[in-house]
Chains A and B, each alone.
Chain A
Amino acid sequence: MVLPLICVLIFPIVILFIIRGTYLILNVNGKKIKKTTQTKPSKTLIVLGSGGHTTEILRIVRHLNKKLYFPRVYVQAQTDDISLMKVKQIEENINDYKIIQISRSREVNQSYFTSIWTTIHAIFQSFPLIWKEKPDLLLCNGPGTCIPPCLVVFFFNSLFLLNTKIIFVESFCRVETFSLSGKILYYIANHTIVQWPLLGGDNYPRSIFVP
């Protein structure tokens, strides 16, 4: 009795996800920026990678208008304390932001096999987090930690449950090839911003190259 009921509920969700997800990947994500004007602030979720990634994304966040990108939620890997310190350095008012911890999808030197488990774990952790926060913007720059929250946002977007913009900024270090997160988020993110010409232009028409 329960099984058919679950099937009847889940089946349409899966079908809708596949159809709408494909539509988003092919016809919405990676297109030219539409001219819009907005006055309301956007709740911004910022995924902190670790080390260099955190430094890079916070340099960008420092240039964003703190009244427009408000409030800010930083999502941080559990094993990283330095990131926390760096956030405190750029945030002045404690009421403007908060920091949430999730687990990391791949430790340095962790094998790709065991990293599948940690990634699945991180995806399940991201569901309640994203649903609770309902951000207007998800900002990330790798590494693997940022993939699970992006996939979950993409899932909710596909089902019309959220309308969150995902922006992925590829690291300054990647000159000729995309990182693993870049390769995946090139399709999943609404916009991919790159810093070197080989990752944009005719090679990768979906990305936005910053000269």
Chain B
Amino acid sequence: MNKRILVTVGTTKFDELINTITTNEVLQELNNQGYNELILQIGKTNFQPNCSSRCGFNNIKAFHLNSSLHEVMKSADLIISHAGAGSCLEALELLKPLIIIINDHLMSNHQLELAKQLYKLGYLYYSNCKGLLKLIQIVNLSKLKPYPGDKSKDIASIIDKIMGYSNF
């Protein structure tokens, strides 16, 4: 049985994350937990990760960005993502176990607020690159709650109330 991890950094780049994931310590720990396939979506970068098979991972692939990211997400058993709200929500809506990695070099980033809040509600875990190894050692992904979906429908019914269409 293959268990697949997707690492996604969105449209920007986050070399530190790709670098951390592909260290032998992290790969070994992920393999101990049963994962053996790794797909890296590395974004707009010249950085070339080491994709040789090692530490129990028989398949490590990297690509920059393409339109089939959503399909890859669907096929993943664990998603490790940058803190972009788009990627974050997409993974949660697919009900995938999700670990968000904060980019320490983007200060005063309100996306951190969102990750923290979603962590408090029990939908995901988050960390920075330094804390990633420790996090995957202690974390219990099966404790995450399924994300109930966004509030669009409730917002639409408030708009109905404002406009006087509640009775329709």
A residues whose Cβ falls under 8 Å from a Cβ of B: 33, 36-38, 42, 51-52, 55-56, 59-60, 62-65, 68-69, 136-137, 139, 165, 167, 169, 171-177, 190-191, 193, 195-196, 208, 210-211
Contacts and interface: CB of A to CB of B under 8 A. Distances in A.
B110 A174 contact: yes
A69 B156 CA distance: 11
Nearest to B159: A167
B158 interface: yes
A37 to B, nearest CB: 5
Contact of A60 (B85, B86, B117, B156): B156
B157 to A, nearest CB: 8
B111 A165 contact: no
Nearest to B116: A175
Interface of B: 85-86, 89, 110-111, 113-114, 116-117, 150-168
Most chain-B Cβ atoms within 10 A of its Cβ — which of A69, A173, A193, A211?
A173
B86 A52 contact: yes
A63 B159 CA distance: 10
Most chain-A Cβ atoms within 10 A of its Cβ — which of B153, B161, B163, B164?
B163
B12 to A, nearest CB: 11
B153 A33 contact: no
Contacts of A62: 152
A196 B153 CA distance: 15
B156 A196 contact: no
B158 A208 contact: yes
Contact of B168 (A65, A173, A208, A210): A65
A172 B84 CA distance: 12
A165 B164 CA distance: 12
A176 B155 CA distance: 19
Contacts of A60: 152, 155-156, 159
A69 B163 CA distance: 10
Q: Which 8 A-B pairs have the closest CB atoms?
A: A38-B164, A63-B156, A36-B164, A175-B113, A59-B152, A173-B85, A175-B117, A60-B152
Contacts of B111: 173
A175 B162 contact: no
B113 A210 contact: no
Nearest to B155: A60
11 contacts: A38-B165, A63-B152, A63-B155, A68-B165, A69-B163, A169-B155, A173-B113, A175-B114, A176-B113, A196-B117, A210-B155
